[in-house]
């Protein structure tokens, strides 16, 4: 746990020095979603894949989302309507058998405007000790939003022990 905290602190320090700015997320309603989207579907590589979530990247704004992971960990679909993007995202994040709810958030750009949305699965806290097992950070550099994903270190230990 201490090692994970040190690694995360180093990432934050080096990112700050490199000019990256971390973006905030906040709770959103699906009714807020308007426009056309590029959908990033991360994870769901196998039935028990906890590292699964979806990003709805608003098309037509100056930002492009890029996942900091190998290409085989995610899929991208362009030009989707709100209905299509939300439907595919919901199906995607429910691929884990223990996912029982979802959290929907808006991703705020550097000036506070909404530049995308995130949908992530939530789990029964009795299964993994917490309901939200992912740490997802959005760092903006120039016109790119780099998405960093990490499974909660405590959840990794629970899974390693089972």
Closest C-alpha among 64, 67, 72, 63 to residue 54: 67
Higher local confidence (pLDDT), 122 or 159: 122
Higher local confidence (pLDDT), 158 or 34: 34
Q: pTM to 2 decimals?
A: 0.84
Half-sphere exposure of 35 (CA within 13 A, CB side): 16
Please give the pLDDT value at position 19: 52
Closest C-alpha among 13, 142, 143, 138 to residue 67: 138
Residue-wise pLDDT for 117-136, tens only, equals 999 999 988 888 899 999 99
Q: What is the mean pLDDT of the chain?
A: 88
Domain ranges of the chain: 21-161
């Amino acid at each position: 746990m201490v090692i994970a905290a040190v690694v995360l602190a180093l990432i934050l320090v080096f990112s700050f020095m490199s000019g990256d700015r971390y973006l905030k997320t906040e709770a959103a309603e699906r009714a807020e979603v308007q426009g056309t989207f590029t959908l990033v579907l991360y994870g769901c590589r196998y039935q028990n894949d906890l590292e699964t979530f979806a990003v709805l990247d608003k098309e037509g704004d100056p930002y492009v989302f890029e996942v900091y992971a190998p290409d085989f960990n995610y899929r991208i679909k362009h030009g989707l309507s709100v209905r299509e993007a939300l439907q595919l995202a919901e199906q995607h994040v429910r691929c884990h058998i223990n996912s029982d709810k979802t959290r929907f958030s808006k991703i705020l750009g550097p000036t506070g405007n909404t530049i995308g949305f995130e949908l992530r699965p939530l789990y029964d806290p009795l299964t993994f000790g917490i309901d939200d097992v992912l740490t997802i950070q959005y760092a903006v550099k120039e016109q790119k939003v780099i998405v960093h994903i990490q499974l909660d270190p405590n959840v990794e230990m629970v899974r390693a022990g089972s």
